Amino acid sequence: MEEYDNPNADSGTFACVACGAELKFKPGTKVLKCEYCGNENEIPQIETEIEELDFESYIGRDETSVQISVHVVKCESCGASSTLDPKLKSASCPYCATPLIITSAHDEFMIQPRSLLPFKIEIKEAYSEFIKWVKKLWFAPGDLKKSSLGTEMFKGIYVPYWTFDSDTSTSYTGQRGVHYYVTETYTTTVNGKSVTKTRQVRKTRWSFTSGHVKRLFDDVLTVASKSLPEKYIYELEPWDLENLVPFDEKYLSGFITEKYQIELKPGFEIAKGIMNGVIRQDIRKDIGGDEQRIFTVNTSHRDITFKHILLPVYISAFRYKNKIYRFLVNARTGEVQGERPYSWIKITFAALSALLVISAFIYFTNKQG
């Protein structure tokens, strides 16, 4: 729940020229809309190429040249740092539903995002997809479905990501395994008699190999937030990164923006892990044969570039038995992912019901027999 000092107060940035209320970005459009008088302001579309920043050059220079100041509040429960509307009197963390301490809000610096994917679907559509997902859950607590009866549990959040490009060159050593078959004689018993038979047994002939593979990676995506379950945030992919637009604060109006918790260098280490998985596939293909063993992998990275981007997600946090469960909706595609609690009462009841049905079946079967 959020409380404002005055819903018609001037936001200081995007105020409606007709009534003075705050304009908010309307998902799926290119306009800011006033919720009070319906006035719309179109967001100017900038025809410019999305800029990639040189990783090595950025690390070695004054970072303040590409930073912006943001008003954030940090959740004491989950650690998420989210932007905060200065007019708010109270609010809860969008990630874990913990009440935020508004008086602890302060200004911080962060690398300015260079591009983003605007919200495409309205909260009602995301909520509808979420309800469909909830209804498919077996043995979900009744409290879960009750908690999802209103869109007030949903928050629209721009989640921070890094994307990395890298031209990689990898040398490796390993072994190539080639299958061959030998005839093996064995003794078995048939009809009480000992019989000698033969069978084909597969073996593998291993030989040492070494080589070199290259791959150019483009837009390797890594989430820069620690506030969301990693498994589920990555399962929201794919994202239509080809539709990224240049960063404009107008797209953020009406939504929460999380400040990244994973800095640039650690973000690239995560990206290297993703790249390494692909590189090892390339190595196995290069080794060939029927089986492969990889001993050493030495990868060099050149022409590393990066972008800081924001991707839109609707989030609902549900607290059940002192544990937080988070549900995520891709605000571009409607894909739903999330944690879910189980009702052990329902599971126990179902198990007992099943036993009762089986017992009744056995009883009547025996009675008829």
The DSSP H or E segment spanning 287 is: helix 264-287
pLDDT digits (tens, 9 = 90+) for 209-240: 999 999 999 999 999 988 887 888 889 999 99
Mean pLDDT lowest for which of 21-25, 212-216, 327-331?
21-25
pLDDT band (50, 70, 90) for residue 192: confident
User: What pLDDT score does 88 carry?
Assistant: 57
Q: Which residue has the higher pLDDT, 223 or 91?
A: 223
Higher pLDDT, 51 or 300: 300
Query: Rounded to whole angstroms, how far apart are CA atoms 43 and 30?
Result: 6
> Of 170, 66, 140, 195, nearest to 342 (Cα)?
140
For a pLDDT cut of 90, what percent of the chain falls above it? 36
Q: Does the pLDDT of residue 12 top 90, yes or no?
A: no
The candidate with the shortest Cα–Cα distance to 229, out of 342, 368, 132, 324, is 324
Highest mean pLDDT among 11-25, 99-113, 176-190, 242-256: 176-190
Task: Determine the Cα–Cα distance for residues 78 and 213; give it in Å rounded to an integer.
Answer: 42
pTM, two decimal places: 0.77
For residue 298, give Cα distances in angstroms to 165, 168, 210, 278: 18, 10, 12, 14
**In this predicted model, what pLDDT tens digit does every residue of 119-131 receive, in sequence order?**
999 988 888 887 7
pLDDT of residue 215: 97
Predicted pLDDT at 319: 64
Confidence band, pLDDT 50/70/90 cuts, at residue 94: confident
Mean pLDDT, range 287-293, rounded to an integer: 96
Q: What is the pLDDT of residue 277?
A: 96
Query: Mapped to the 3 state alphabet, what secondary structure does 230-272 carry?
Result: HHHHHCCCCCCHHHCEECCHHHHCCCEEECCCCCHHHHHHHHH
- Whether 136 shows a pLDDT value over 90: the answer reads no
Decide if pLDDT at 73 tops 70.
yes
